[in-house]
Amino acid sequence: MEINKKQLLSAVFASMLLVGCASTDSTDTGEADAAAAAAEAAAAEEAARLAAEEAARKAAEEAAANLPRVFYFDFDQATLSSETRAALDGHIAALKDSNAKVRLEGHADERGTREYNMALGERRANAVANYMIVNGVARYRIETVSYGEERPVASGSSESSWSQNRRVELK
């Protein structure tokens, strides 16, 4: 991101020079002054645009930091809820302005067999990954791994624990 900003600034500087060069051929100094003023205005506009972009990026980053990073699922399901989609849209917006990679860890609750749950955790992680890819995040930036039911966050054997364990964590 830092590099992109510098590149943009030098491009603006180069265009100012070009405008300056063009003015030396002109006999009307008033016209040259006007061109210089226009260039200045354009530069100011560009700087303002950059500042706004930077602010938007920071806002998106901050918003992403506050977005949920854990997404929950129904039993034996890998369907994304509307809450999950909304949260993912925020993460996707933040990811568009960075080169960061993400790791999606899929999990299942304790019910059913361990290896089937391993596959179920993968299906959930892939559901999140596919949503991100379809919405513009490059596939190579996403790593998925399933832990099945091996890493529960809640230990009891009731729906209140199970619903917390059926999840994908974005890391």
Per the CB < 8 A criterion, the answer to whether 108 and 149 are in contact is: yes
Check binding of 156 to other proteins (CB under 8 A).
Answer: yes
CA 138 centroid distance within chain: 11
Give yes or no for residue 77 binding other proteins (CB under 8 A): no
User: In the complex, what is the shortest distance from the CB of residue 75 to other proteins, in angstroms, rounded to a whole number?
Assistant: 8
Torsions phi, psi for 168 (to 5 deg):
-120, 130
Nearest-approach distance from CB 161 to other proteins, in angstroms: 10
CA angle in degrees (0–180, nearest 5) for 92-141-98: 55
Site track for other proteins across 100-119, x = CB under 8 A: ----------xxxxxxx-xx
Q: Is 69 exposed, middle or buried (0-12, 13-18, 19+ CB in 10 A)?
A: middle
If binding is defined by CB under 8 A, does position 141 make contact with other proteins? Answer: no
Q: Residue ranges of the alpha helices (H) in the chain?
A: 2-24, 29-66, 82-96, 114-134, 159-165
**Can you tell me which of 91, 152, 166, 168 binds other proteins, judged by CB under 8 A?**
152
**x/- string (CB under 8 A) for other proteins, residues 4-43?**
----------------------------------------
**What is the binding site for other proteins (CB under 8 A)?**
76, 110-116, 118-120, 122-123, 144-148, 150-153, 155-157, 159
